[in-house]
Amino acid sequence: MYLTCRGSDGALWSARATVQQGRVGAAGNWTRLGVAAGAVGVVNGAPLFAAAGTDGVVRTRRLTTGWVTTPLHCTRAPALAAGCGSVYLACRGSSGALVWSRNAGAGFAPAVSAGGTIVGVPAVAVDRAGGATAYVQATSGTVVRKRLDPATGWTTLSGVTVRGVGAAQVRG
């Protein structure tokens, strides 16, 4: 299991922890990734990190590589989800709309606007068929979702949030 957090210095830090009998053990050596407000996912058995720089450009990296530029420009931290051979990044673009990009193995495609106006950081999950769905907080505070690939319209879910959304993938 990889743990990632924002340190007291404002930077993104990561460490590996063991899981035995369903319990998380102590984290190993922490690695400073040098940016704030990022996302992490596991791709091909290793963590992939994504973060927006002070210029708004989203970059990705592994623990053993430097940062690589993607086509996304964000006003907040990106969300990252991986599964079925693809990696999805999504974030709030400069217009306030949800923007996203997919890497199916040959690099991230040009950014696509999903429209709408979102608040904060979105969440993304990949389903077993390989499609991605974004979950966001709308300006009204309601939680809405939109299938990104293949694209559908926005669907309002019940409830209101004041601190954003989160999503997780369960494989089994």
Q: What is the pLDDT along the chain (172 residues), one digit of tens a residue?
A: 777 777 888 777 888 888 888 788 788 788 888 766 678 888 888 888 898 888 899 999 888 888 899 999 999 889 999 888 889 999 999 999 999 999 988 899 999 999 889 988 898 988 888 889 999 888 888 888 999 977 888 888 877 776 667 666 655 4
- Confirm whether 73 is domain-assigned: yes
Give the pTM.
0.82
pLDDT recorded at residue 169: 60
Which CATH number covers residue 65?
2.120.10.70
Distance set, CA 16 to CA 31, 33, 38, 66 (Å): 9, 14, 17, 19
Q: How many domains does the chain have?
A: 1
- Confirm whether 165 is domain-assigned: no
Which contacts qualify for 149-158: CB closer than 8 Å, 24 or more apart? 149/86, 149/88, 149/102, 151/114, 154/115, 154/116
Closest to 148 in 3D by CA, of 120, 119, 126: 126
Contact 141, 169 (CB under 8 A): no
